[in-house]
């Protein structure tokens, strides 16, 4: 059996698409967390051929990166409680979705824990409609024309169309992005280049899962915090670099597995 995990954006009541129940090591093995790179990465929109009005509209609608700045948690089905950093209004919104008091405050017995409310909350699964799960190890959507062509048969929302346009547009040549994964609430960050040059070069998606894991056996300190992926120039000098700690987490969780290169931001 084992413990199964899902990744959630609590504010949006969305979960990262999974086609099966995954153990934590399987998230690392199967590239299941790599789509997080695309949905968390705030692009430098000057890289693209768009006018200022279009940039303003994209930012107003929040379609640059649908999970950027959202409260992220990687919850297990054996979880218990809720991160203290999650606002009370978010808790009330989750609890109001048809959950009983018993479900919202599970007991300590195994059967109750298996119905942990965050893992089982009603959440829209995302990334399937844009085909991110078809791309592996740093591939870009604009290189997958066959997958993109199939999207014409899907009913997509305006936000999905906007995101698809960003992901499928080859960027204009630009300076290195120097991507970082940020925890905005704790003012900590992880550099993608440090992870890429380590012995465990997973993507920042797997890093995020390690830092936001929430189960009865332990709580990672980023769980429920606001996170995004942006460039190093948007990190203040007072923020803490936890890149080496991230590599240590990846080594602890995936020491029996090796990757040749995760998806780079």
Average pLDDT score over residue span 201-208: 94
Ranges of each domain in the chain: 5-254
According to DSSP, residue 132 is labeled G
Q: Tokens 């899902």 correspond to what residue?
A: 6
Least confident of 31-35, 117-121, 193-197, 239-243: 117-121
- Quote the pTM value: 0.74
Q: Is the pLDDT of residue 104 over 90?
A: no
pLDDT at 195: 94
Phi, then psi, of 5 in degrees rounded to 5: -135, 150
Burial class of residue 259 (count of CB atoms within 10 Å of its CB; 0-12, 13-18, 19+): middle
Q: Is the pLDDT of residue 242 over 90?
A: yes
Angle at 77 between CA 74 and CA 83, to 5 degrees: 50
253 — pLDDT class (breaks 50, 70, 90): confident
pLDDT digits (tens, 9 = 90+) for 138-162: 334 444 545 554 554 466 666 666 6
Average pLDDT score over residue span 240-250: 95
Q: For residues 90 and 93, give the distance between their C-alpha atoms in angstroms, rounded to a whole number.
A: 5
Do β-strands 225-231 and 179-183 pair in parallel, antiparallel, or remain unpaired? antiparallel
Burial class of residue 145 (count of CB atoms within 10 Å of its CB; 0-12, 13-18, 19+): exposed
Structure-token pair, residue 70: 């959202």
């Amino acid at each position: 059996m084992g413990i199964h995990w899902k990744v959630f954006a609590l504010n949006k009541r969305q979960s990262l698409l999974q086609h099966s129940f995954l153990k934590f090591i399987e998230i690392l093995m199967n590239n299941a967390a790599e789509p997080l790179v695309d949905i968390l990465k705030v692009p430098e929109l000057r890289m693209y051929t768009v006018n200022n009005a279009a940039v303003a509209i994209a930012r107003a609608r929040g379609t640059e990166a649908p999970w950027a700045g959202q409260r992220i948690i990687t919850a297990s089905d054996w979880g218990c409680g809720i991160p203290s950093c999650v606002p009370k209004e978010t808790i009330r919104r989750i609890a109001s979705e048809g959950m009983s008091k018993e479900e919202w405050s599970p007991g300590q017995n195994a059967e109750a824990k298996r119905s942990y409310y965050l893992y089982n909350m009603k959440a829209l699964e995302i990334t399937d409609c844009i085909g991110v799960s078809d791309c592996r190890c740093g591939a870009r959507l604009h290189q997958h024309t066959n997958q993109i062509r199939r999207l014409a048969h899907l009913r997509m929302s305006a936000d999905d169309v906007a995101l698809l346009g960003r992901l499928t547009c080859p960027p204009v040549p630009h300076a290195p992005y120097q991507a970082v994964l940020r925890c905005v609430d704790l003012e900590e960050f992880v550099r993608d280049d440090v992870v890429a040059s380590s012995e465990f070069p997973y993507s920042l998606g797997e890093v995020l899962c390690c830092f936001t894991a929430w189960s009865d056996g332990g709580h990672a300190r980023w769980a429920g915090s606001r996170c995004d992926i942006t460039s190093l120039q948007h990190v203040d000098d007072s923020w803490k670099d936890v890149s080496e700690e991230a590599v240590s987490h990846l080594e602890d969780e995936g020491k029996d597995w090796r990757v040749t290169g995760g998806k780079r931001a």
